[in-house]
């Protein structure tokens, strides 16, 4: 997406959650995660690329021992509709016998996160918990519920705070929804 198109898209978008609301939600999630995992020395796995912004900010608020790694599994690529799961990178750190916290940007239909969780269990993880920053209220039956959820978002195409639109605006500190066609 070129810069002019990206600016126009943001100018026309609707603010769903401000940067202040987003930051407060990250802090609240960190407190919830700390109360559950502070004594577990968990392996925190960031789901690339969407989970990067949330995970980076979350990690700075977790003041207990943990290890960090990443994985890359996606159903989207350049598209706005989910398709077949594509595994691009498995974690480098062994999950065998570990408590694992998977961190991602959004729980949309839940297919990718469910597949990631099942794969980590097959790799020998003792426990797999999930933290998503947003849960989309799409009315669909999801194959998984996240253990930790920051905020909910409407059933619209949202972007910002890890979620992109055609490669743009992933880095925004707030969450927006694309303009609805009328």
For 102-122, what is each residue's pLDDT tens digit?
999 999 999 889 989 998 999
Above 60 in pLDDT, residue 182? no
Above 90 in pLDDT, residue 181? no
Assess if residue 48 is contained within a domain: yes
Assess if residue 114 is contained within a domain: yes
State the pLDDT at residue 72: 92
| Mean pLDDT score of the chain | 92
Above 90 in pLDDT, residue 80? no
State the pLDDT at residue 180: 80
Give, in degrees to the nearest 5, the angle at Cα 146 between 91 and 141: 115
Assess if residue 142 is contained within a domain: yes
> What is the pLDDT confidence band of residue 85, given thresholds at 50, 70 and 90?
low
Q: Choose the catalytic residue: 104, 108, 135, 164.
A: 108
Distance CA 33, CA 29 (A): 6
Assess if residue 182 is contained within a domain: no
C-beta separation of 54 from 105 below 8 A? yes
Assess if residue 176 is contained within a domain: no
**Which structural domain range is residue 154 located in?**
19-158
Per-residue pLDDT, averaged over 40-62, amounts to 97
Assess if residue 3 is contained within a domain: no
Assess if residue 118 is contained within a domain: yes
* Pairing, β 148-154 against β 14-17: unpaired
Would you call 108 a catalytic residue per the annotation?
yes
Assess if residue 7 is contained within a domain: no
Structure tokens at 71: 């994985």
**Which 8-state DSSP code applies to residue 180?**
P
Residue-wise pLDDT tens digits, 136-168: 999 999 999 999 999 999 999 999 999 999 999
Per-residue pLDDT, averaged over 71-83, amounts to 61
Number of domains composing the chain: 1
CATH number at residue 86: 3.40.50.2020
Above 90 in pLDDT, residue 84? no
């Amino acid at each position: 997406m070129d810069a002019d198109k990206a600016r126009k898209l943001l100018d026309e978008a609707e603010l769903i959650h401000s940067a202040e609301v987003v930051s407060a939600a990250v802090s609240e999630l960190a407190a919830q995660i700390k109360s559950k995992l502070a004594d577990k020395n968990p392996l925190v796995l960031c789901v690339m690329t969407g989970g990067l912004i949330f995970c980076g900010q979350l990690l700075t608020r977790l003041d207990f021992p943990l290890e960090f790694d990443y994985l890359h599994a996606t159903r989207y690529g350049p598209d706005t509709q989910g398709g077949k799961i594509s595994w691009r990178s498995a974690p480098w750190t062994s999950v065998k016998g570990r408590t694992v916290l998977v961190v991602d940007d959004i729980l949309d239909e839940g297919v990718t996160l469910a597949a990631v969780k099942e794969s980590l269990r097959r790799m020998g993880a003792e426990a797999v918990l999930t933290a998503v920053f947003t849960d989309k209220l799409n009315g669909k039956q999801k194959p998984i519920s996240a253990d930790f959820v920051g905020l909910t978002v409407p059933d619209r195409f949202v972007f910002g705070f890890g979620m992109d639109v055609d490669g743009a605006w992933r880095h925004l500190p707030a969450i927006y929804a694309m303009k609805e066609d009328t």
